[in-house]
């Protein structure tokens, strides 16, 4: 296992977010190659952060910036697992480490959550971006019904502590949640906020 790959990526991301005056587009442009390099080889993620749960996907905190400027997480998708339609409220970069995931974009209308273009499949080694300015509402699922998929996500904040929303596909009804992490004492995934 390449133990320095994750640490080197975290150092580079820390240096990047410390640069004054970068807007979102510049940050994404400079961070995408870092995430692409991280997922280019599958030799660094410990097995305990890549093991699926039999019922729902796992979101493991790999690194949380002490100033909450960014977080790096692994998403572990068991066969056929999916998220509800949800948003992020911050920018993000998704890198596919192994397997594949399907991203279904949505837009919110008075009639509910409607598809906003075709679904996209992210294959191992590929990278994609999300943000409120690029398109932030989507549903994600493991592209495979017979194997585990693992993606690595970089977010512009501590995604496990940010209040976000899930949306009912038929009505568009919004429900607040804080995702937490599967490997910490933060609340579990998709927990509603009172």
Measured distance CA(60)–CA(74) in Å, rounded: 5
pLDDT at 126: 98
Q: What pairing do the DSSP bridges indicate for beta strands 191-192 and 174-178?
A: antiparallel
Mean pLDDT for 7-12 is 95
* 0.75 surpassed by pTM: yes
Say whether pLDDT at 188 is over 80: no
- Tens digits of per-residue pLDDT, 164-184? 999 998 888 899 999 989 887
Mean pLDDT for 188-194 is 33
pLDDT at 170: 83
């Amino acid at each position: 296992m390449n133990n320095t790959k994750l640490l080197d990526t975290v150092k580079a991301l820390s240096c990047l977010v410390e640069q004054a005056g970068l807007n979102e587009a510049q940050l994404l442009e400079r961070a995408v190659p870092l995430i692409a390099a991280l997922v280019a080889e599958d030799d660094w993620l410990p097995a305990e952060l890549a093991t699926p749960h039999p019922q729902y996907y796992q979101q493991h905190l790999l690194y949380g910036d002490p100033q909450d400027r960014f977080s790096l997480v692994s998403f572990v998708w068991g066969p056929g697992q999916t998220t509800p339609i949800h948003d992020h409220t911050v920018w993000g970069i998704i890198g596919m480490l192994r397997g594949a995931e399907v991203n279904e974009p949505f837009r919110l209308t008075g009639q509910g959550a409607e598809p906003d273009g075709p679904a996209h499949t992210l294959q191992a080694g590929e990278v994609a971006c999300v943000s409120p300015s690029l398109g932030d509402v989507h549903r994600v699922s493991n592209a495979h019904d017979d194997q585990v998929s693992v993606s690595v996500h970089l977010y512009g904040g501590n995604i496990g502590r940010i209040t976000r929303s899930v949306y009912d596909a038929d009505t568009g009804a919004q429900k607040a949640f804080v995702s937490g992490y599967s490997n910490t004492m933060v609340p579990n995934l998709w927990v509603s906020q009172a």
